[in-house]
């Protein structure tokens, strides 16, 4: 009986497809997320930048404290309405200071 439950669990876990997007983090965003490249789990294949940022803020609440956080998609700054595909190159770009 136990082996049947294990097989079902293993079989069930094979059916669940997790979408994980690779996200680059720069500057203070890297400090907050703890890595220059984060694996970000997604429930949808496509998501708008504004929704993506909401998910980011849930996972990394300290990002909310930044005066701004730009998102780039495929090397271009993205608007809040830009749609992100799971295969896109996404980066978190915090405010930059310097002289």
pLDDT, tens digit (0-9, with 9 covering 90-100), for 21-38: 899 999 999 999 999 999
> For position 91, what pLDDT does the model report?
97
Buried b (16+ CB within 10 A) or exposed e, 9-29: eeeeeeeeeeeebebbbeebb
Q: Which fold has domain 18-93?
A: Ubiquitin-like (UB roll) (3.10.20)
Q: Look at 13 and 66; give whichever has higher pLDDT.
A: 66
Question: Alpha-carbon torsion 62, 30, 23, 40, what sign?
Answer: negative
| pLDDT reading at 71 higher than 70 | yes
Q: Look at 67 and 98; give whichever has higher pLDDT.
A: 67
3-state secondary structure of 31: helix
Tokens of residue 14, six digits: 């094979």
């Amino acid at each position: 009986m136990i082996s049947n439950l294990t097989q079902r669990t293993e079989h069930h876990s094979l059916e669940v497809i997790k979408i994980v997007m690779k996200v680059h983090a720069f500057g203070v965003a890297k400090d907050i997320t703890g890595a220059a490249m984060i694996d970000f789990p997604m429930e949808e294949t496509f998501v708008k930048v504004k929704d993506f940022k909401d998910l980011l803020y849930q996972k990394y609440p300290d990002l909310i404290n930044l005066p701004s956080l730009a998102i780039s998609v495929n090397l271009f700054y993205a608007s809040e309405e830009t749609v992100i595909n799971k295969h896109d190159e996404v980066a978190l770009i915090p405010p930059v200071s310097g002289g």
